[in-house]
Structure 1
C-alpha cells in the first residue's frame, strides 16, 4: 500500500532509540568508540517533521532501548549484545537515567515506551498505547535501519498499522546496510524522505 494522505490526529512519528547513550558525545556509545556521523545527524533532520506533526495534532512517540538493572544495578545483557558491545556497563541505558532519554532536539515525546529488544512491539505496551491514542498510521524513523527500525516496521505491518519508513530519518553503522534495509522494507512500508513526510503532514 502506498501512503498518499494521512489524518494527523491518527498518525504517529515513531522515533526508534534516538537516545543520549546512543548519540550524545558523552553517551555510552561515544565512550565505546561507536560514534557515527550519519546517526548523529538524524535528530536535527527529523526535528522539522516532528514539529509539523505536533502542530497538526499528531503524535510523537519515542522508544527507549533499556538495559534493565538486576542485583547491584548490573544490567541484564543478552549474550550477542555483550559480545558486540563489550563497553556497556552499569548505568548505561538504565531506565530513568540521562543516557536513557530521548535527545533534547526531539523532545518532548507524547508517548514513551521502553523496550529490551529490536522491535518496539516485542514484550512492550506499544500496541496498547497506540490503540488507546487512536493511532493507526506510523512514520517510523531512528536507529538502526536494519535492526530496531526494520523489526518495528515489520511488526507494525503485521498488526495492520499503515506504515511508512522515513528513509533519510534512519541510519545504520554503514550506508550500504542502511540502503539495503530500506529496499527490503519496500514490501511492508512506504518509503519517504523527511521532506516528503513533512509535506504530507502539511497537506492534510
Structure 2
C-alpha cells in the first residue's frame, strides 16, 4: 500500500487537556520541522486546508526560533533508498519516496537555510539512525518542539521517543497535518495524555517571544521562591526555604539559565556557588552578598 490521497479538513482548534504544564523555553528548546518534503505534501490539495495554514505556522515558528536563538532541525527522507534501508517500511508503504526521488526536497517556502541541521530520516522517529539526541545534548537542550507531517506517524513517534529520552516534547497542534481530522486529533490526544504537551502556534510563539523587559533580581525571598517555582513549573507553595532544589528537580540546564538571567541583572554568581548550597535560604544570602559586593 501507499499513502492515501488526503481530503481537505479543518485544523482542529479544540485542544486536548494536557497532563503536565510544561512550556517551551527558548534557552532549552529545539525546533523539529518533520518531513515537510514535496513528496509527502503531494497527497494533499496544496491550496486547501490544512496545507496553507500548516506552512504559514511553521514559517512563523521558524522565524521566532531564529530570533530567540533556538536551533532548527529538519528531517528529510533520502530520494534513493535501498531495500535494506527501507526494510519493514517497504511492506507497509511500498517504495515511498524512492518512486519519485525528484520530490525529495523540502517545500520551497520552508527550505532549510545555512546553519539549519538536516537529518537523513530512515524511520518514523527523528531519533532513529540519526545524531539528534547527541546534538541536543551538546547544545544543552532538553525540549523538542515538533511540527510537520504526518502527525500520527513520525511526529507522534518522535515526540514519544523524546519523552523516553527525558526530553520534553511539544506538539504544535496547528502546525502539524495528518491523513484526516480523526488521525490529527488522535495524535494530539496521545501526546497530551502520554508523552508531552500540545500547544497551538500562538501559545508557542508567545513562549518563544517573551515580552521585552530588563532583567531584574528577586526583590525578596518570596520573589526568589516564585522565580524558582516558575522555573520548576510547580506552585511556589510546594517549595520550602530549606528544600534541596536539586532534589526538587532543578537540573543543571535550568540552573544555568537562572544564573545567566541573574548575571544579566547584575549578580556575580557562579554555577558552583548555587550547586553547593542548593536551598532557597542559601540562595537568598548569596544574592544579597552579590548585590552588596
CA deviations on 1:125-176 (whole Å, 9 max, x unpaired) are: 1111221222211111111111000110000001011111101111111111
Larger radius of gyration: 2
Q: 1:53 aligns with which of 58, 65, 75?
A: 65
Q: Which runs of 5+ in 2 are unaligned?
A: 1-19, 212-293
> Cα RMSD between the aligned structures?
2.5
> Are the structure 2 counterparts of residues 89 and 58 from structure 1 closer, same or farther at C-alpha, using a change threshold of 3 Å?
closer
TM-score, normalisation: structure 2: 0.57
Q: 2:39 aligns with which of 10, 18, 21?
A: 21
Runs of 4+ displaced beyond 6 Å: none
Contact 1:82 1:88 in 2 (8 A): no
> Are the structure 2 counterparts of residues 45 and 5 from structure 1 closer, same or farther at C-alpha, using a change threshold of 3 Å?
closer
> Are the structure 2 counterparts of residues 100 and 178 from structure 1 closer, same or farther at C-alpha, using a change threshold of 3 Å?
same
Q: Which runs of 5+ in 1 are unaligned?
A: 24-29, 93-97
Cα displacement (A) at 1:117: 0.9
Cα displacement (A) at 1:5: 5.0
The structure with the greater share of residues assigned to helix is: 2
1:178 matched residue in structure 2 = 184
Residue 139 (structure 2) pairs with residue 133 (structure 1): yes
> Are the structure 2 counterparts of residues 88 and 192 from structure 1 closer, same or farther at C-alpha, using a change threshold of 3 Å?
closer
d(CA) in 2 for partners of 1:5, 1:146: 21
CA deviations on 1:30-78 (whole Å, 9 max, x unpaired) are: 3xxx2254453312221111101111111111011235444xxx89544
The structure with the greater share of residues assigned to strand is: 1
TM-score, normalisation: structure 1: 0.80
Cα displacement (A) at 1:20: 2.2
